[in-house]
């Protein structure tokens, strides 16, 4: 019989305060197969781990049960300790007597102690049947797909290609550059956006490792980290049928950018029916030297230079009742820039900015907004604009000055709305194709808001730029480089390593009924083309066990959790203490 | 088609023409507006005091009467419509209030009736295309300013049949009748009638903003379905014309009055002569009466 050691952790008083750990150790001592049952204050500490290592060597242990916290916390820790002592790590298991015992039975110490004993005996039985497993190694295609040719996609492609790996960059429209390509000057130094973009475009064009596909979208994405298969759809020229191409990639960066809340959604501001109520991107084009007016500020209705301009911040942002609840983050800064540029170009003009708060977090940002107020004499009014309409050739803004508590009416020539930043059109559909998550607004969700901000929840798919949330150019570029760094650390491995505790099929028992295929939530099951037996894609399988339940012949099994394991565990759990 | 119909107090007293035009026009379109056998004042106070359950007893009694006669209730007056529709939602969605009100008025009602405004019936039951086909008079030369007021569209989550900031139902109605829509910015602004009792001057100026704006947009007349707005917009125009030089008074009609005129009905019971600003000259000038 396997020689098994049981290590019971006090977790300070987290476990020992409720569970009588000495009695648990005593009860396990004579359990069949157990050659050692001991307790310690903190098993995860260095001395705790060293106790496990030492016991493995001295007692020739062939299996280890650590009765401690959830395996999500320290399974890796204890398996590593076992491996250091020469024991196959898959011979070490956790019995969770903290979250599942001591924390939930604090008012009944007797019952908690008995439950802890049952728990540990169950896991001892499991370890008796455990096989020594070797982690899986998966091949890795060292080529990246970048979706979106804006500043985020360009930066990510440049970083990956510079490190020596090939990149395919796909862009839906007929040009690279995204929104940055539509801007005039950028805050806080008024540098021309064109120049910023040009340096990136040249780097992309100069790098032979970057292949650019314009007018191309991702039609399908299959496979898994290291081995994605992508079907790309290339729009046909002059309305001809689209063509498709297939590629394999090791990693994907999603940098699809954003759209703006359309004026038609703003009934309170005319719903798009007034020519001189425009959104800030339209005004930005007016400021840009390559724009429709050649950089001259002229209002759309009659081409006159507007003498009074009202800028409306938070148009559709921070308004959960009617529009989007979130802050679009970039508007305070670009509105200050646009108002300052307007004042520079129309020195006798008056600019009003209606704002709720000024959010100017960034180096030199606050100084920049202050300079718009002081150097450029932009008049900031703290309050929302309730209504905008046109009458007698004027744009009338009704608002409030909340600092004086008075209603305000401005008769202007032009109104510029800082409309809310929204996910790009088709973002949710793309998320479904890529099997990544979006938030309730359609922005792609990161794996962890603090610790994994550039990863999606799907391994091998990373996020960059405003596709994930509103952000400005420096943040977008930083995130794009971070996503590229994640891709590079993936590509720096020789091969991918995966957990072996996944499903397998006993071909003798499999009748080829195929019930496991729809049961699998990870698309890891397929039918062998001519054997007519179910097969498991080891890279996609997450070991959830749905196929095991679905299989009528018990041909599907999970490694180290076979029916033999489970029946022995049940026997142990249901036995009288 | 027969739809139970709630006229309300104003339509039985000061706005009889609104009521007559509604019944006759709908009859001409093949819909009988069947007045409820018993009904009482809707109270008109629901929007002002939401927490007072007693204020709900009146409107709910009307809904109970309606439920005995059908599954729909047609309403012409915007304010009655607002009160009845929102009271109905309370009965449908708020169990606590429902039980108390049912206990108090000795009923067992849970919001089953669908409260519909006449314009909704024109849009959804008749259809704009069918309405256009039924039009007998040529209104092409008439420019009409739609006026929504507050009660018809708000609160949007409860009223919910049109965009409260950029509504279209009156515009579509006017177009279906073959008239031109006068596009002006203040069609859903408050006319001020709620403060008329204690600040008439402000009320008048609020009305003036709307009236002058409609005139500027080239309107020959204004249509509305709110008797409170109609009175308020109509009543002070002579005073406003004295105060604001150059302002030309503009008639304010009920939507059903314009509907009846367009359908070529006899207008003698429409009370066109009872408006403060007489609409008959402009209607005659356009060859409509």
3-state secondary structure string across A9-28: ECCCCCCCCCCCHHHHHHHH
pLDDT at B67 over 60: yes
Which of A239, A229, A262 lies closest to A425 in space, CA to CA? Answer: A262
Q: Encoding tokens for residue A408?
A: 């305000």
> Looking at residue B48, what is its pLDDT?
63
Q: Positive or negative CA dihedral for B279, B284, B285, B288?
A: positive
Domains B2-118 and B128-285 share a fold: no
A488: left (phi over 0), alpha (psi -120 to 50) or beta: alpha
Judging contacts by C-beta atoms under 8 Å, the chain B residues touching residue A322 are 165
pLDDT tens-digit map of A520-540: 988 899 999 999 999 999 888
ipTM of the prediction: 0.86
Where chain A has pLDDT below 50, the residues are: none
For B217, the token pair is: 């947009």
Options 3.10.105.10, 3.10.350.10, 3.40.50.11810, 3.40.720.10; CATH for B128-285 is 3.40.50.11810
Cβ of residue A103 closer than 8 Å to a chain B Cβ = no
How far apart, in whole angstroms, are the C-alpha atoms of residue A421 and residue A472?
A: 11
What is the reported pTM? Answer: 0.81
A273 at interface of B, judged by CB pairs closer than 8 A: yes
- Is pLDDT at B87 greater than 80 in this prediction? yes
For helices A151-162 and A193-206, the axis angle rounded to 10 degrees is: 40
The answer to whether the Cβ–Cβ distance between B185 and A266 falls below 8 Å is no
A33 Rama class: left (phi>0) / alpha (psi -120 to 50) / beta:
left
Is residue A287 a contact partner of residue A337, using CB atoms and an 8 Å limit? no
pLDDT at B47 over 80: no
Q: How far is CA B191 from the centre of its chain?
A: 14
Report chain B's terminal Cα–Cα distance, integer Å.
29
Which residues in chain A are closer than 8 Å to B165, comparing Cβ atoms?
Answer: 266-268, 271, 322
Of B163, B184, B186, which is closest to A267 when you measure between CB atoms? B163
A510, A555 contact by CB (below 8 A): yes
- Predicted pLDDT at A577: 57
The structure tokens listed for A484 are: 């590229």
Tell me the domains of chain A and their CATH numbers: 4-135 (3.40.50), 144-257+424-491 (3.50.50.60), 261-421 (3.50.50.60), 502-558 (3.30.70.20)
A348/B contact by beta carbon, under 8 A: no
What are the start-end ranges of the H helices in A346-388?
365-374
Residue at token pair 């018990």? A554
Give the chain A residue nearest B155 (alpha carbons). Answer: A321
Contact B213 A271 (CB under 8 A): no
- CA-nearest of A9, A129, A130, A127 to A67 is A9
- Spans of all domains in chain B: 2-118, 128-285
- Please give the average per-residue pLDDT across B76-93, as a whole number: 95
A271 in reach of chain B (CB within 8 A): yes
Rg (CA), chain A: 31
How much is the average pLDDT of B177-183? 97
Q: Choose the closest CB to B165 out of A267, A390, A392.
A: A267
Helix (H, G, I), strand (E, B) or coil at B29: coil
The nearest CA of chain A is from the CA of B167 a distance in Å of 8
Q: What is the CATH number of domain B2-118?
A: 1.20.1050.140
Nearest by CB to B166, from A271, A390, A392: name it.
A271
Q: How high is the pLDDT of residue A389?
A: 96
Q: Please provide the distance, in angstroms rounded to a whole number, between the alpha carbons at the two ends of chain A.
A: 22
């Amino acid at each position: 019989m396997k020689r098994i050691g049981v290590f019971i952790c006090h977790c300070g008083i987290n476990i020992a305060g409720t569970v009588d750990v000495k009695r648990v150790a005593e009860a396990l001592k004579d359990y069949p197969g157990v050659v050692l049952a001991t307790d310690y204050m903190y098993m995860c500490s260095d001395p705790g781990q060293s106790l496990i290592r030492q016991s493995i060597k001295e007692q020739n242990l062939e299996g280890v049960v650590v009765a401690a916290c959830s395996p999500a916390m320290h399974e890796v820790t204890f398996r590593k300790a076992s491996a250091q002592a020469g024991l196959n790590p898959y011979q070490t298991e956790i019995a969770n007597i903290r979250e599942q015992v001591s924390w939930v039975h604090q008012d009944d110490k007797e019952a908690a102690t008995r439950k802890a004993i049952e728990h540990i005996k169950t896991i001892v039985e499991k370890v008796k049947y455990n096989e020594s497993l070797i982690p899986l190694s998966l091949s890795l295609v060292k080529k990246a797909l970048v979706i979106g040719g804006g500043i985020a996609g360009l930066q990510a492609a440049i970083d990956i290609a510079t490190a020596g790996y090939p990149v395919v960059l796909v862009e839906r429209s007929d040009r690279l550059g995204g929104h940055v390509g539509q801007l005039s000057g950028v805050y806080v130094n008024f540098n021309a956006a064109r120049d910023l973009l040009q340096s990136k475009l040249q780097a992309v064009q100069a790098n032979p490792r970057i292949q650019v596909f314009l007018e191309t979208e991702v039609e399908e994405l299959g496979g898994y980290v290291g081995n994605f298969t992508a079907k790309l759809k290339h729009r046909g020229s002059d309305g001809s049928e689209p063509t498709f191409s297939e590629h394999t990639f090791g990693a994907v960066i999603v940098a699809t950018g954003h759209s703006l809340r359309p004026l038609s959604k703003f009934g309170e501001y005319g719903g798009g029916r007034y020519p001189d109520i425009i959104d800030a991107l339209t005004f930005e084009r007016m400021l840009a030297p390559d724009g429709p007016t050649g950089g001259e500020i002229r209002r759309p209705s009659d081409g006159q230079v507007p003498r009074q301009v009202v800028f409306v911040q938070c148009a559709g942002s921070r308004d959960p009742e009617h529009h989007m609840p979130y802050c679009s983050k970039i508007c305070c800064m670009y509105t200050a820039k646009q108002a300052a540029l307007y004042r520079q170009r129309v020195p006798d003009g008056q600019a009003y900015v209606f704002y709720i708060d000024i959010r100017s977090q960034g180096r030199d940002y606050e100084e920049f907004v202050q300079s718009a107020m002081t150097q450029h004499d932009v008049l900031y009014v703290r309050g929302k604009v309730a209504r905008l309409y046109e009458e007698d050739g004027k744009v009338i803004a009704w608002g409030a000055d909340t600092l004086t508590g008075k209603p305000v009416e401005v008769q202007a020539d032009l109104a510029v709305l800082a409309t809310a930043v929204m996910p790009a059109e088709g973002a949710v559909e793309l998320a479904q194709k890529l099997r990544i998550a979006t938030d309730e607004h359609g922005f792609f969700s990161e794996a962890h808001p603090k610790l994994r901000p550039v990863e999606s929840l799907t391994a091998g798919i990373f996020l960059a730029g405003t596709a994930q949330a509103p952000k400005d150019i420096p943040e977008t570029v930083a995130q794009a480089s971070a996503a590229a760094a994640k891709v590079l650390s993936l590509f720096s491995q020789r091969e991918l390593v995966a957990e072996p505790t996944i499903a397998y099929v006993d071909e003798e028992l499999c009748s080829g009924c195929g019930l496991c295929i729809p049961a699998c939530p990870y698309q890891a099951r397929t039918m062998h083309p001519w054997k007519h037996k179910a097969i498991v894609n080891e890279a996609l399988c997450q070991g959830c066990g749905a196929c095991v339940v679905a299989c009528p012949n018990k041909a599907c099994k999970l490694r180290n959790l076979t029916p033999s394991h489970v029946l022995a565990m049940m026997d142990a759990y249901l036995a009288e203490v | 088609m027969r739809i139970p119909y709630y006229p309300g107090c104003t339509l039985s007293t000061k706005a009889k023409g609104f009521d007559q035009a509604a019944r006759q026009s709908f009859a001409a379109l093949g819909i009988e507006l069947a007045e409820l056998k018993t009904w009482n004042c809707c109270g008109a106070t629901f929007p002002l005091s939401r927490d007072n359950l007693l204020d709900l007893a009146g409107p709910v009694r009307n809904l109970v009467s309606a439920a005995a006669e059908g599954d729909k209730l047609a309403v012409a007056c915007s304010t009655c419509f607002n009160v009845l529709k929102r009271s109905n939602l309370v009965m449908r969605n708020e169990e606590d209030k429902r039980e108390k009100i049912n206990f108090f008025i000795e009923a067992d009602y849970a919001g089953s009736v669908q409260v519909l405004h006449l314009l909704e019936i024109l849009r959804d039951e008749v259809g704009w295309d069918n309405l256009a086909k039924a039009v007998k008079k040529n209104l092409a030369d008439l420019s009409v300013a739609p006026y929504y007021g507050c009660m018809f569209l708000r609160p949007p989550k409860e009223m919910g049949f049109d965009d409260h900031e950029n509504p279209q139902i009156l515009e579509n109605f006017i177009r279906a009748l073959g008239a031109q829509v006068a596009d002006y910015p203040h069609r859903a602004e408050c006319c001020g009638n709620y403060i008329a009792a204690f600040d008439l001057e402000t009320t008048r100026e609020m009305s003036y903003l709307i009236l002058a704006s409609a005139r500027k947009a080239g309107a020959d007349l204004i249509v509305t379905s709110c008797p409170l707005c109609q009175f308020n917009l109509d009543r002070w125009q002579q005073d406003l014309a004295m105060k604001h030089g150059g302002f030309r008074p503009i008639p304010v009609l009920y939507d059903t009055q314009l509907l009846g005129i367009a359908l070529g009905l006899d207008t003698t019971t429409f009370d066109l002569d009872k408006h403060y600003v007489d609409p008959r000259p402009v209607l005659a000038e356009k060859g409509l009466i």
